Amino acid sequence: MSKKKKETKPKKAKGKELKKLLQSSILDILDNASGKGYSMKQIIKKLGLKKRDDIKQATLLIYELTDDERIKELKNGSYTSNRPVEELTGIVDHVSSRFAYVRIGADKEDIFVKARDMGSAVDGDTVKLEVLPTRHGDHAEGKITEVIRRNRTRYVGKIELSKNFAFVVPDYRKMHQDFFVYPENINGARNGDKVIIEVTSWAEHDRKPEAKVVDVLGKAGENEAEIHSIMAEFGLPFKFPEQVEKESEAIEEGINKKEIKKRWDFREITTFTIDPLDAKDFDDALSFRKLDGGGYEIGVHIADVTHYVDMKSELEKEAYDRATSVYLVDRTIPMLPERLSNGLCSLRPNEDKLTFSAVFEMDDKGKIKKEWFGRTIIHSNRRFTYEEAQEVLETGKGDYAEELIILNTLAKKLRKERFSKGAVNFETTEVKFKLDEKGKPLAVIPKVRKDAHKLIEEFMLLANKQVATFIYNYKKGKEKNTFVYRIHDFPDPDKVKDFSVFAKQFGHNMNVEEQSISRSLNKLMEEIEGKPEQNILEQLAIRTMAKAKYSTEAKGHFGLAFEHYSHFTSPIRRYPDMMVHRLLQHYLDDGKPLSQNEYEEKCVHSSEREKRAADAERASIKYKQVEFMATAENKVYEGLISGVTEWGLYVEIVETKCEGMIRMSDLTDDFYEFDERRYRIVGRKRKKIYTLGDRIKVRVKKTDIDKRLIDLIFADQVTKKTFED
């Protein structure tokens, strides 16, 4: 109930004015009661009335409002609101222990819900809620009335044992309650172990949620336990089902002559792969030959996974369920069993391999003169690492130097054309870790992208674009062909404006007019290259963009400036590429358009699995960053303020790209106030200002492996609290 509306009766209000104010106040009290009933005496008390005449008038008004059915009397004699209640359905985003938001759909404002109005709902649950008359800032306020579907029933956390009971503190940051575990449900766990729990009863009123331990992962803080906890947290599989492994082992290895006759034979044409040093699965290769009449024939050859995976097999079901390989810091969780991913389908050198290809005849300006799509057989002559290919490009010497140099020249022309048409040049800085034999991080190493990486990228982009364009335009009748596209919507103009304000804090100006956004973003990316703020602004620019996803609607790709785009080039690690291969072959065989609804459902599933994989990968990186920074508590680092909130300053450490927080409670030299509009905090007494983009010196105060958090303090800050922590 709003305190401002609690006492609305002016001292000198008379007659009709007083009646109107009393009536409004009574309705406010009951409308804001969230379905709770108040007795006559309680209503009078909340109105703050003392005079007998005022109390009498309020009593009569309550009877009048009841007669008019604006309020209703309950069986126990109390009164409650009779206003129509708007009920909505949405998904809980439990951002804080004090409150949550409920997302009710695209283009609709989230509903704010206080913790006391959550019932037993937790993050990710699908719920019903009623909208209250109160508001929280720009958001309507609501109360959850029913949990329709639980998002998850299993959690990962650290168990804390007591004599007669145990608690599990969940790792998941948006789970704000501990779970009570009875002794008989501990399942052999020891104090401090990482465990997986199954919820047995959800929190109701003041009761804690209860759970039982279903698996013990190991001692918290140890690499295997922590990585397994991340896998369990995101529902990632630990192994393939036995039947799936059996099916993969039963696949015949040889390639018969009948199969070869169906395919374009590239085995005599120069072909090679370029991949990371530690790659085990090679799903793409390039072939190259000069044409007699001038120009070049360039083949983009992709592992023909669908030749080996039958649509009705358990292999297929498992690949669809996983939808993507997941790359954690110390391991890969593959979409397909090793027999396929690293064996049959991997385009290893000096072996005949079945492929699905996009073949282009190009002139020396990079223009396509002719294209062909279909099944092929190749024999890779050489496996290059990116480093080896880069050395050839830089020195002009080594295996296939002429071919690599020509391909690189063409790739640069393709790249230049993309940017001229409005593609956005995002060169994000990724990190990798040097690990010891126990998985402990020894160093954080930024990944560097050079011409060899960009060469492969451009030809993969070309194949993906041309396959999508070919199918979009390939019609036998009037009906449109169902296909799986990779789409990327135009960014939200408001988000772009907010980002431009952010960039300005670093001294960079942007033109946010719709037709200039991509050009302005590219100019910014050039300006920040090599500067400390590069990583922060690149990451924020990506967050500003709409999220790319899979769809049967050909909506185009803003970031790449392609009208039509798909994923054709990585079927070993992405299920959508398998769908694309099957659909492409279906239409090449003059098949009729397939069910759009069926494939749209598969697109949605694949997009969700892709997000899960990205979240798990980020969590594993964050874990290793926290573990690495835990060994450097006395070192002084240069940092950039990457975020400003009411609870503290987010700081990205320039050297390691790790992000930590200086908590407001640790700023002991003054009382700082949050200036949301200007992205800064200001000291009340000394007027010291910390703002977005400021360069500061910091030290690690403490790290929390379980929550994957790094707490920082200013380098020159020495307090009693710091050493006690």
Cα–Cα distance for residue pair 24/47, rounded to 1 Å: 11
pLDDT for 722: 37
Residue 711: both structure tokens together: 């707490």
Cα–Cα distance for residue pair 400/149, rounded to 1 Å: 58
Compute the mean pLDDT over every residue in the chain, rounded to the nearest whole number. Answer: 89
Low-confidence ranges of the chain (pLDDT < 70): 1-15, 34-35, 84-85, 106, 427-428, 476-477, 514-515, 718-725
pLDDT for 675: 87
Cα–Cα distance for residue pair 171/155, rounded to 1 Å: 8
Residues 6+ apart with CB under 8 A from 161: 186, 189, 190, 191
Strand partners, 488: 557
pLDDT digits (tens, 9 = 90+) for 100-135: 999 987 678 889 999 888 999 999 999 999 888 777
**Domains, in order of start, for the chain:** 3-81 (1.10.10.10), 87-149 (2.40.50.140), 154-220 (2.40.50.140), 242-446 (no CATH), 475-620 (no CATH), 630-724 (2.40.50.140)
Q: Which amino acid makes up residue 603? A: C
Residue 432: both structure tokens together: 């990798």
Residue 598: both structure tokens together: 């069926």
Q: Find, among 123, 145, 352, the residue nearest to 256 by Cα.
A: 352
pLDDT for 4: 42
Residues 6+ apart with CB under 8 A from 613: 324, 325, 326, 327
For residue 199, the SS3 value is strand
What is the radius of gyration, based on Cα positions, of the chain? 31
pLDDT for 11: 46
pLDDT for 5: 42
pTM: 0.81
Cα 129 → chain centroid: 26
Cα–Cα distance for residue pair 151/156, rounded to 1 Å: 14
pLDDT for 718: 56
Neighbours of 164 (CB within 10 A): 7
Residue given tokens 């039982």 in the structure block: 212
